[in-house]
Amino acid sequence: MSFVGKVWKVLVGIKDALVLMFMLLFFVALFGILSARPSPGQVRDGALLIELSGVVVEEKSAIDPIAALLSGSAPIEEYRARDLVRALDAAASDDRIKAVVFDLTTFLGGGQVHLTEIGEAMDRVRKAKKPVLTYALGYADDHLLLAAHASEVWLDPQGLAVISGPGGSNLYYAGLLEKLGVNARIYRAGEFKSAVEPYSRSSMSDEARANVGGVYSALWEEWQANVKKARPKLALARVTSDPVGWIDSAGGDLAKAALSAGLVDKLGDRVAFGARVAEIAGKDTWSKKPGSFAASDLGAFLAAVGDKRKGKAIGVVTIAGDIVDGEAGPGVAGGTRIANILDEALDDDLAALVVRVDSPGGSVTASEEIRRAIQRHRDRKIPVAVSFANIAASGGYWVSMSSDRIFAQPETITGSIGVFAVMPTFEQSAARLGVTADGVRTTPLSGQPDFIAGFSPEMDAILQASIGGNYRNFINLVSASRKMPVDKVDAIAGGRVWDGGTARQLGLVDEFGGLQDALAWAAAKAGAKESEWHPVFLGDKAENYDSLIRQLVTSNAARAPLTQGGDIFALTARRNGDLAARLTRDAQRLLGTSGIQAYCLECPESVSAPSRRERTSREHQSTLFNLLAWMAAP
């Protein structure tokens, strides 16, 4: 009995230790969650400090806590454009806020429409007689689009400011696929649907070059007009036409060159910048750290501002990122997920619906699923408006066809009305390896599709017919929605992309305006007077664990190499990550099973964190590279 008693005591001790450990973990997690949430009580007199240590997006991506913890690195931080605009507008009238400070040291970019809207909000803060200051180690195009609207633009003496303008190179794989014996079977409708050109050509077609070049020229003109209006003394022509001569004139000192051209106003390190802010907003009584100043952070200030909840409810559904089948998202537009959100809102007392689109498109079936869900709201006889952000092309335009009015900005990219699909077959590469296929067929479609023996002519014809049918459906939807003859729609479709200004002239959009303009229009159509309505963002969920997860997996030492390099070599090195992501996407489009796509590959790459498709396609990338290495081996 004594032995059994001892064993029992050991077991009881283990049990008690486990209970205590789990209780400790529970309370630590609870404390972390509560402390990670921004508190309105943290707002104090001083500056509103906005540290943009990531990207500006329309909708934040969902964080997988298990994947984040296992990876040991936090996802790129994301900031909703509408949150930044709301904070700036509130700061303009808040007596506690003496100035607004943007720390752009680790800012990674945003869409041109979003950054323009934030810049306009910065102007409203300045009109309220409150200074806006920015600081960074390096300024690129997106940084400068924001900083141009600041009262003072500070640059670290070791930093730089450069302007590159939109554009760049695409990768073309026709030569590689030919060497590997891979037959990229392309099915498309629309001669301008250049999304498939990387697999069929070794260079950009003249049609695609003319079309995309026109869009990029329009974006560049809008960027220059915006920056010149905000900073009239900026020597923009000098910086962009002869960058080498401009830098040489400053003795090779990139920071002094930026100052001489008016890209920045002052050179100084973080301590000097903080001292300047302290002169305006007050000293930090909580910290003696050099460069500190009295400030409230963005999260706490937004929590203090709150949301307006009076009057009629105007629903807002967000369609952001690639449109894919299933429940994906947020940050990726899962067709089933968004359709469910819209259907659940049918029971809500919504006076109107606004559809906010920031997507280059994707799956045709998912796009149609979302469009039908929007139409169900329209069938209730409530006003439905669509607001385009940076991109609303291909599938992003398809989902917008059940609406009463479409708003866009001059910088919006839209159109790309066309569909395509790419499927690889390996009959040539298999033959090189001594693999052949043979058998018995009872019909022309027996054993089809056959990825080793190749597709039969009948299979090819059926696949192309499916593409043609979906293209006609797309054209007919646009014709009915925009009240345009089918032949007129076809003349401006064919996969062409358009800037917002041209799209308005062509009748693809109704008027210029942002999300607030669309909301105001929908509210007026619903009979709500000004200040007697409020937006309800459908599907929004509290981010209870976001900050906690980042705290658990992020350290300053780990993050610094990724986001904080300020010299030109560090900025250039980041392109390696962009190249890897591009190769991954291209491999996924060839090897994946995405179905018929209404996707705008011609549109500029999104700056948001990698989509779910990109993350899962890393396995495809690894497989593809291993395959290439094996086949290229002697």
DSSP β-ladder status, 152-161 and 266-267? parallel
User: What's the mean pLDDT in 116-123?
Assistant: 97
Lowest average pLDDT, out of 14-28, 74-88, 384-398, goes to 14-28
Q: Is the pLDDT of residue 441 over 60?
A: yes
- The partner residues of 297 in beta bridges, in order of sequence, read 49
Highest average pLDDT, of 29-33, 70-74, 84-88, comes from 84-88
DSSP symbols for 534-560: EEEETT----TTHHHHHHHH--HHHHH
User: What's the mean pLDDT in 550-567?
Assistant: 47
Lowest average pLDDT, out of 11-20, 44-53, 77-86, 392-401, goes to 11-20
Of residues 60, 193, 194, 400, which has the active-site annotation? 193
Q: Is the pLDDT of residue 187 over 50?
A: yes
Q: Is the pLDDT of residue 475 over 90?
A: yes
DSSP symbols for 443-498: STTTT-S-TTT---HHHHHHHHHHHHHHHHHHHHHHHHHHT--HHHHHHH-TT-EE
The reply to whether 39-163+231-305 and 177-221+311-425+492-531+567-634 are identical in fold is yes
Share above pLDDT 90 across residues of the chain, in percent, rounded to a whole number: 51
Of residues 61, 292, 387, 394, which has the active-site annotation? 394
The pLDDT, as a whole number, for residue 231 is 93
- One-letter identity of residue 484: M
The pLDDT, as a whole number, for residue 304 is 86
Give the chain's count of helices (H) and strands (E): 27, 23
Span 151-175, pLDDT tens digits: 999 999 999 999 999 888 888 988 8
Do residues 393 and 601 make contact, with C-beta atoms less than 8 angstroms apart?
no
User: What's the mean pLDDT in 83-89?
Assistant: 96
Per-chain mean pLDDT for the chain: 83
Of 430, 451, 197, 470, nearest to 459 by C-alpha is: 451
Tokens 């077991």 sit on residue: 11
Say whether 229 is catalytic.
no
Do residues 324 and 366 make contact, with C-beta atoms less than 8 angstroms apart?
yes
User: What's the mean pLDDT in 614-618?
Assistant: 40
**Three-class SS state of 398:** helix
Tokens 């469009």 sit on residue: 371
The pLDDT, as a whole number, for residue 205 is 86
Say whether 483 is catalytic.
no
DSSP β-ladder status, 97-103 and 46-51? parallel
Q: Which residue has the higher pLDDT, 329 or 240?
A: 240
DSSP H or E stretch at residue 187: strand 183-189
Tell the CATH topology of 39-163+231-305. Answer: 2-enoyl-CoA Hydratase; Chain A, domain 1 (3.90.226)
Q: For residue 127, give every residue at least 6 positions away whose Cβ sits within 8 Å of its Cβ, in sequence order, or none.
A: 92
The pLDDT, as a whole number, for residue 572 is 62
Helix axes 575-591, 618-632, angle to 10 degrees: 80
* In the chain, where the domains are located: 39-163+231-305, 177-221+311-425+492-531+567-634
User: What's the mean pLDDT in 496-508?
Assistant: 94
Query: Dihedral (C-alpha) 145, 263, 143, 282: value to the nearest 10 degrees?
Result: -100
Span 504-543, pLDDT tens digits: 999 999 999 999 999 999 999 999 888 889 999 998 876 5
Of 508, 553, 259, nearest to 397 by C-alpha is: 508
Confidence of residue 336 (pLDDT cuts 50, 70, 90): very high
Confidence of residue 578 (pLDDT cuts 50, 70, 90): low
Residues 516 and 546: their CA atoms lie apart, in Å, by: 27
Q: Is the pLDDT of residue 618 over 60?
A: no
- One-letter identity of residue 117: E
Residues 606 and 113: their CA atoms lie apart, in Å, by: 12
pTM of the full structure:
0.85
Of 161, 171, 172, nearest to 137 by C-alpha is: 161
The pLDDT, as a whole number, for residue 484 is 94
The pLDDT, as a whole number, for residue 436 is 84
SS3 assignment for 25-61 = HHHHHHHHHHHHCCCHHHCCCEEEEEECCEEEECCCC
Alpha helix (H) ranges present in 37-170? 65-71, 81-93, 112-127, 141-147
Alpha helix (H) ranges present in 164-322? 174-180, 197-200, 206-230, 236-241, 243-248, 254-260, 270-281, 298-305
Tell the CATH topology of 177-221+311-425+492-531+567-634. Answer: 2-enoyl-CoA Hydratase; Chain A, domain 1 (3.90.226)
Q: Is the pLDDT of residue 273 over 70?
A: yes
Handedness of CA 233, 235, 236, 237 (dihedral sign): positive
